[in-house]
Amino acid sequence: MQVGVIGCGNMGGGMVRQLVAAGMSPICFDPNQATCDLMRSAGAEVATSALQLASKAQIIILSLPKAAVVEEVMGQIMTSIQPESIILDTSTSDPATSQKMAALSIAQGSQFIDGPVSGGPEAANAGTMTMLLGGDVQAIDALRPVLDVITAKTVVVGGSGAGHAAKIANNMLCAANLVLVAEAVRLGEASGVSAKDLLAGINAGSGRSGVSEVNFPKWVLSDAFDSGFTMGLMRKDVGLALDLAKSSGVDVTGFSGIADIWLNQSDHVADTADFNEIVKYADKDRTDV
């Protein structure tokens, strides 16, 4: 089956490279010509438009920045999608958009699966992403040969929209843990415990998390701040969590204060900065971040 990728930036581009390495001869499209040139040099076929790609591919992977763009692109390609094709949306979107796109796809004879990913550009380029999947189980099974190439772990979490609900919840916890671990480190240092020693203790105990085990050692304590995921993207995800809580009628009082830090109290940290730089939110006088 022909596999196509729409949106070939950091994440989509990594998926394209993995598909090429696996001998799948993917076709791809991105509105940025320079990105298309990179994909062509990596060995992928480049379509002249998303519409052309949809007419040729039986599996269409979307790697787009937000739900509104997913809906826009789907509106552009819907009439060209082949019957029995499968659209795999790896963007961080929202459950309502996924459910809407799934219903439209079924009416056209295709399937829309939500499969947001974790791991960042490094994992996309290594084929080691984790993907949370929501949608028709048979369609997900049909995607397995592709999923085995671009991911190291997949978790089917439910029907249409479930993948994006789970991803929003995951990123909600990551956003919270970054703020909380930063506060714990400051508390430890004020008590004479170095950040490195404090984290060793936390990671041996019940307070450990992906942030304490990976983010802080790899990107914060090293002062690298080069994970490939930006403050702006995480701020968007924090907003998605608040929106989902509101539409679902769920009280997220505990998270609301942390969301306020991301959205309102850290404006000295630019949207273009690495998302791990939220640890600097208390440093109001910084002008170089």
What are the catalytic residues?
167
List the one residue out of 246, 276, 249, 245 whose CA is nearest residue 262.
Answer: 276
Residues 6+ apart with CB under 8 A from 137: 156
Residues 6+ apart with CB under 8 A from 187: none
List the one residue out of 277, 256, 259, 257 whose CA is nearest residue 268.
Answer: 277
Work out the number of other CB atoms within 10 angstroms of the CB of residue 71: 16
- What does the alpha-carbon distance between residue 28 and residue 39 come to, in Å, rounded to a whole number? 8
| DSSP designation for 216 | I
* Alpha helices per DSSP H over 42-158: 50-56, 67-77, 95-107, 120-126, 137-142, 144-150
